[in-house]
Amino acid sequence: MHGFQLRVAYQGVPGAYSEAAAGKAYPNCEAIPCDQFEVAFKAVELWIADRAVLPVENSLGGSIHRNYDLLLRHRLHIVGEVQLPVHHCLLALPGVRKEYLSRVISHPQALAQCEHTLTKLGLNVTREAVDDTAGAAEYIATNNLRDTAAIASARAADLYGLQILADGIQDDSSNVTRFVMLAREPIIPRTDRPFKTSIVFAHDKGTSVLFKVLSAFAFRNISLTKIESRPHRNRTIRLVDDANVGTAKHFEYMFYVDFEASMAEVRAQNALAEVQEFTSFLRVLGSYPMDMTPWCPSRGDHQVP
């Protein structure tokens, strides 16, 4: 970056996976810890940071729905993505043994990703959710908690002086989280490397709307990599009157779709023009380079500076 260090806001404290994702996307960046995602978004909106990092889906737990809602509430643009192999460790204060533990704390995603392994380790513990994995490690160290372990990265163990009681405790060794990078301005889409585009749309009146939308991509040989629906926040219920029978109530949905094409391609522009005909609302969240880094599941957080 020639003297200019990109400032990347993430939710959590140093040692969080989001910090590692920031480092993978922007190797020499200054990663800025934030209490909450809202704060990370605000940091970008107020020019305190240049990018925000947001985890959006996980190979074990699926979509992180709250974060999809955040994308819609804010006006930031997706400018990149990172897929990060997530390698969880069980951390405790030095000298603490597994038998002493009565509680494990971590980010809800991390707790869910280690559910079966925790049981297999024979731990008789309650699980408690906190805001981020590294924050859980810091909390144990700061409060000298000898009955509590955290699920977090090996880097968090280093940073907060904890020992690793068990390594690689995710239920599936190919545990990957996908993060998106957000900026105030969109990037200019290109065609010289694989791009992905993320959109969100809402139903319009009519039948088979989803089928029509999806066919706009299918007829142009554009592959979808993701489709997700979320209840529409402001218009949750649609009432359909049938004079003879009564009133049917349906949920209304927002659909999130990722497809493998760049908005610089005419076929993508045509597909979206068609989608617009069938939808009451359509927003391009971003068109950005796909993460094409080679797959290496076992090393996880150790590989990121």
Ligand X SMILES: O=C(O)C(=O)Cc1ccccc1
Binding site for ligand X (CB under 6 A): 12, 16-18, 55, 86, 107, 109-110, 132-134, 177
Q: For ligand X, which is the closer residue by CB, 8 or 134?
A: 134
Using CA atoms, how far apart are residues 18 and 219, in angstroms rounded to an integer? 37
Q: For ligand X, which is the closer residue by CB, 133 or 287?
A: 133
Q: For ligand X, which is the closer residue by CB, 17 or 217?
A: 17
Reply yes or no on whether 177 is catalytic: yes
Distance of closest approach, residue 96 Cβ to ligand X, in angstroms: 21
Q: Which phi and psi angles does 295 have, rounded to 5°? A: -80, 125
Distance of closest approach, residue 151 Cβ to ligand X, in angstroms: 8
Distance of closest approach, residue 12 Cβ to ligand X, in angstroms: 5
Distance of closest approach, residue 134 Cβ to ligand X, in angstroms: 6
Q: For ligand X, which is the closer residue by CB, 133 or 279?
A: 133
What's at 188, amino acid-wise?
I
C-alpha torsion sign, points 238, 239, 240, 246: positive
Which of 37, 41, 179, 195 is catalytic? The answer is 179
Distance of closest approach, residue 223 Cβ to ligand X, in angstroms: 25
Dig out the tokens for 303 from the structure: 């590989």
Reply yes or no on whether 251 is catalytic: no
Q: For ligand X, which is the closer residue by CB, 12 or 286?
A: 12
Contacts 24+ apart (CB under 8 A), 212-217: 212/278, 213/255, 213/257, 213/275, 213/278, 213/279, 216/271, 216/272, 216/274, 216/275, 217/257, 217/259, 217/271
Asked whether 143 and 92 are in contact (CB, 8 A), the reply is: no
CA dihedral 218, 223, 225, 230 (to 10 degrees): -20
Which of 177, 201, 217, 259 is catalytic? The answer is 177
List CB contacts of 142: < 8 A, sequence separation 6 or more.
none
Residue in 87, 84, 90 with CA at minimum distance from that of residue 103: 90
Q: For ligand X, which is the closer residue by CB, 92 or 213?
A: 92
Using CA atoms, how far apart are residues 293 and 273, in angstroms rounded to an integer? 32
Using CA atoms, how far apart are residues 86 and 8, in angstroms rounded to an integer? 20
Distance of closest approach, residue 28 Cβ to ligand X, in angstroms: 20
Among all residues, which ones are annotated catalytic? 177, 179
